[in-house]
A and B are shown apart, each in its own frame.
Chain A
Amino acid sequence: MNNKYETVIGLEVHSQLLTNSKMFCGCGSDYQKAEPNSRVCPVCMGMPGVLPVVNRKAVELIIKTGLAIGCSINGETKFDRKNYSYPDLMKGYQISQFDLPVAINGNLNISLNGNEKTIGVTRVHLEEDVARLIHKNEPNGTSHSLIDINRAGVPLMEIVSEPDMRSPEEANEYLIQLHSIVRSIKASTANMEEGSFRCDANISMRLKGTTELGTKVEIKNVNSFRSVFRALQFEQNRQINLLEIGEQIIQETRGWSDESEKTVSQRIKEFAADYRYFPEPDLPPIIISKQWVDQIKSTITELPAEKIQRFIKSFQLSEYDSSLLISNDIIATFFEDTVNECKNLGLNYESSAKTCANLLNVDLSRILNEKQLQISDLNTDYGDFSILIKMISEDTLNSTMAKTVFENMLLLGKSPIEIADNLGLTQISDTDSLEQIISEILSQNSPAVQDYLEGKETAIRFLIGQVMKETKGKANPKIATEIIISQIKKS
Chain B
Amino acid sequence: MHQDDLKTLTIENARNLLDSREITSLELTESYIKRIENTETDINAFVTISKESAINDAKNADILIDSGEQNLLTGIPLQLKDNLCTRGIRTTCSSKMLENFIPPYDAFVTEALKNQGAVILGKGNLDEFAMGSSTENSAFQTTKNPFDITRVPGGSSGGPAASVSASQCLFSLGSDTGGSIRQPASLCGVVGLKPTYGRVSRFGLIAFASSLDQIGPITHTVKDSAMVLQNIAGFDSKDSTSLNVPVPNYLETIDKGIKGFKIGVPKEYFQEGINPEVEKIIRDSLKVLENLGAEITEISLPLTSYALAVYYIIAPSEASANLTRYDGVKYGFNYIESENMWDGIEKTRQFGFGDEVKRRILLGTYALSSGYYDAFYLKAQKVRTLIRKEFEDAFCDFDVLAMPTSPSTAFKLNEKMDDPMQMYLNDIFTIPANIAGIPSISIPAGMNNNLPVGLQMMSGALQEEKLFQAAYAFEQATEWHKIKPKL
Chain A nearest CB from B215 CB (Å) reads 11
A281 at the A/B interface (Cβ < 8 Å)? yes
Residues of A within 8 A of B85 (CB): 48-49
Chain B nearest CB from A375 CB (Å) reads 40
State the interface size on chain B (CB cutoff 8 A): 44
Q: Are B104 and A282 in contact (CB under 8 A)?
A: no
Known: A42-B104, A90-B325, A91-B325. Is A49-B207 also a contact (CB below 8 A)?
yes
Q: How many A-B contacts at CB < 8 Å in the complex?
A: 101
B351 at the A/B interface (Cβ < 8 Å)? no
Residues of B within 8 A of A52 (CB): 240
B449 at the A/B interface (Cβ < 8 Å)? no
* Measured CA separation A274–B341 after assembly (Å): 21
Known: A87-B327, A87-B329, A274-B370. Is A51-B321 also a contact (CB below 8 A)?
no
Q: Pick the interface stretch among B55-63, B198-206, B298-306.
A: B198-206
Say which residue of B203, B329, B377 sits within 8 Å of A51 (CB atoms). B203
Chain A nearest CB from B66 CB (Å) reads 34
Say which residue of A47, A90, A277 sits within 8 Å of B103 (CB atoms). A47
* Measured CA separation A93–B91 after assembly (Å): 23
Residues of A within 8 A of B83 (CB): 49
Residues of A within 8 A of B210 (CB): 281-282
Residues of A within 8 A of B205 (CB): 49
Q: Are B240 and A51 in contact (CB under 8 A)?
A: yes
- 6 A-B pairs with C-beta separation under 8 A: A45-B330, A48-B325, A49-B207, A85-B345, A274-B369, A284-B240
Select the residue from A52, A91, A277, A281 with max chain B CB neighbours within 10 A: A281
* Measured CA separation A47–B93 after assembly (Å): 13
Q: Which residue of A lies closest to B209 (CB)?
A: A281
* Measured CA separation A85–B330 after assembly (Å): 13
Residues of A within 8 A of B331 (CB): 47
Residues of B within 8 A of A281 (CB): 209-211, 241, 318
Q: Are A51 and B101 in contact (CB under 8 A)?
A: no
Chain A nearest CB from B341 CB (Å) reads 7
Q: Which residue of A lies closest to B211 (CB)?
A: A281
Q: Which residue of B lies closest to A46 (CB)?
A: B325
Known: A48-B206, A49-B85, A49-B205. Is A282-B240 also a contact (CB below 8 A)?
yes
Known: A42-B105, A48-B325, A83-B368. Is A53-B204 also a contact (CB below 8 A)?
no
Q: Which residue of B lies closest to A88 (CB)?
A: B329
Majority secondary structure, B binding face = loop
Select the residue from B83, B84, B85, B324 with max chain A CB neighbours within 10 A: B324
Binary contact track A301-316/B, C-beta < 8 Å → 1, others 0: 0000000000000000
Chain A nearest CB from B14 CB (Å) reads 29
Q: Are B93 and A48 in contact (CB under 8 A)?
A: yes
Please report which residues of chain B, range 67-87, place their CB below 8 angstroms from some CB of chain A when the two chains form the complex. Answer: 83-85
Known: A51-B203, A83-B368. Is A92-B327 also a contact (CB below 8 A)?
yes
Known: A81-B321, A83-B321, A87-B341. Is A49-B107 also a contact (CB below 8 A)?
yes
Known: A90-B325, A92-B325. Is A48-B98 also a contact (CB below 8 A)?
yes
B238 at the A/B interface (Cβ < 8 Å)? yes
A345 at the A/B interface (Cβ < 8 Å)? no
Say which residue of A51, A83, A282, A283 sits within 8 Å of B324 (CB atoms). A83
B373 at the A/B interface (Cβ < 8 Å)? yes
Say which residue of B206, B329, B345 sits within 8 Å of A49 (CB atoms). B206
Q: Which residue of B lies closest to A41 (CB)?
A: B105
* Measured CA separation A83–B105 after assembly (Å): 26
B239 at the A/B interface (Cβ < 8 Å)? yes
Residues of A within 8 A of B (CB): 42, 45-54, 81, 83, 85, 87, 90-93, 145, 147, 272, 274, 276-278, 281-284
Chain B nearest CB from A418 CB (Å) reads 56
Chain B nearest CB from A472 CB (Å) reads 71
Q: Are B103 and A49 in contact (CB under 8 A)?
A: yes
Select the residue from B204, B317, B321 with max chain A CB neighbours within 10 A: B321
Q: Are A276 and B204 in contact (CB under 8 A)?
A: no
Select the residue from A45, A46, A48, A83 with max chain B CB neighbours within 10 A: A48
Known: A46-B330, A47-B331, A49-B203. Is A276-B369 also a contact (CB below 8 A)?
yes
* Measured CA separation A283–B203 after assembly (Å): 13
Residues of B within 8 A of A277 (CB): 368, 373
Say which residue of A47, A51, A85, A92 sits within 8 Å of B239 (CB atoms). A51
Residues of A within 8 A of B321 (CB): 81, 83, 92-93, 276, 278
Select the residue from A45, A51, A90 with max chain B CB neighbours within 10 A: A51
Residues of A within 8 A of B38 (CB): none
Q: Are A85 and B318 in contact (CB under 8 A)?
A: no
Residues of B within 8 A of A53 (CB): 237-238, 240
* Measured CA separation A166–B251 after assembly (Å): 71
Q: Are B241 and A284 in contact (CB under 8 A)?
A: yes
* Measured CA separation A149–B462 after assembly (Å): 39
* Measured CA separation A261–B430 after assembly (Å): 63
Q: Which residue of A lies closest to B324 (CB)?
A: A92
Select the residue from A90, A147, A272, A276 with max chain B CB neighbours within 10 A: A276
Binary contact track B208-234/A, C-beta < 8 Å → 1, others 0: 011100000000000000000000000
Q: Are A85 and B327 in contact (CB under 8 A)?
A: yes
Chain B nearest CB from A167 CB (Å) reads 34
Q: Are A278 and B101 in contact (CB under 8 A)?
A: no
Residues of A within 8 A of B463 (CB): none
Say which residue of B211, B237, B324, B370 sits within 8 Å of A85 (CB atoms). B324
* Measured CA separation A47–B84 after assembly (Å): 13
Residues of A within 8 A of B209 (CB): 281
Known: A81-B321, A91-B324, A93-B324. Is A276-B240 also a contact (CB below 8 A)?
no
Residues of A within 8 A of B10 (CB): none
Residues of A within 8 A of B98 (CB): 48
* Measured CA separation A47–B85 after assembly (Å): 11
Chain A nearest CB from B206 CB (Å) reads 4
Q: Are B368 and A276 in contact (CB under 8 A)?
A: yes
Known: A45-B330, A85-B345, A91-B325. Is A54-B240 also a contact (CB below 8 A)?
yes
Residues of B within 8 A of A147 (CB): 329
Q: Which residue of A lies closest to B84 (CB)?
A: A49
B365 at the A/B interface (Cβ < 8 Å)? yes
Q: Are B317 and A278 in contact (CB under 8 A)?
A: yes
Chain A nearest CB from B441 CB (Å) reads 24
Residues of B within 8 A of A92 (CB): 321, 323-325, 327
Q: Which residue of A lies closest to B198 (CB)?
A: A284
Binary contact track B339-354/A, C-beta < 8 Å → 1, others 0: 0010001000000000
* Measured CA separation A278–B320 after assembly (Å): 11
Residues of B within 8 A of A81 (CB): 321
Residues of A within 8 A of B370 (CB): 272, 274, 276
Please report which residues of chain B, range 87-125, place their CB below 8 angstroms from some CB of chain A when the two chains form the complex. Answer: 91, 93, 98, 101, 103-105, 107
* Measured CA separation A42–B98 after assembly (Å): 15
Q: Which residue of B lies closest to A82 (CB)?
A: B321
Q: Which residue of A lies closest to B201 (CB)?
A: A51
Residues of A within 8 A of B103 (CB): 42, 47-49
Chain A nearest CB from B320 CB (Å) reads 8
Chain B nearest CB from A449 CB (Å) reads 90
* Measured CA separation A53–B325 after assembly (Å): 19
If A48-B91, A48-B206 are given as contacts, then 10 extra A-B residue pairs at C-beta distance below 8 Å, sorted by A number, are: A47-B331, A48-B207, A49-B202, A51-B240, A52-B240, A83-B321, A93-B321, A277-B368, A277-B373, A284-B240
Q: Are A48 and B240 in contact (CB under 8 A)?
A: no
* Measured CA separation A93–B325 after assembly (Å): 8
Q: Which residue of A lies closest to B378 (CB)?
A: A278
Q: Are B330 and A283 in contact (CB under 8 A)?
A: no
Residues of B within 8 A of A49 (CB): 83-85, 91, 103, 107, 202-207
* Measured CA separation A243–B323 after assembly (Å): 46
* Measured CA separation A32–B131 after assembly (Å): 41
Q: Are A48 and B101 in contact (CB under 8 A)?
A: yes
* Measured CA separation A378–B205 after assembly (Å): 54
* Measured CA separation A402–B151 after assembly (Å): 97
Chain B nearest CB from A312 CB (Å) reads 48
Say which residue of A50, A87, A276, A284 sits within 8 Å of B105 (CB atoms). A50
* Measured CA separation A145–B369 after assembly (Å): 30
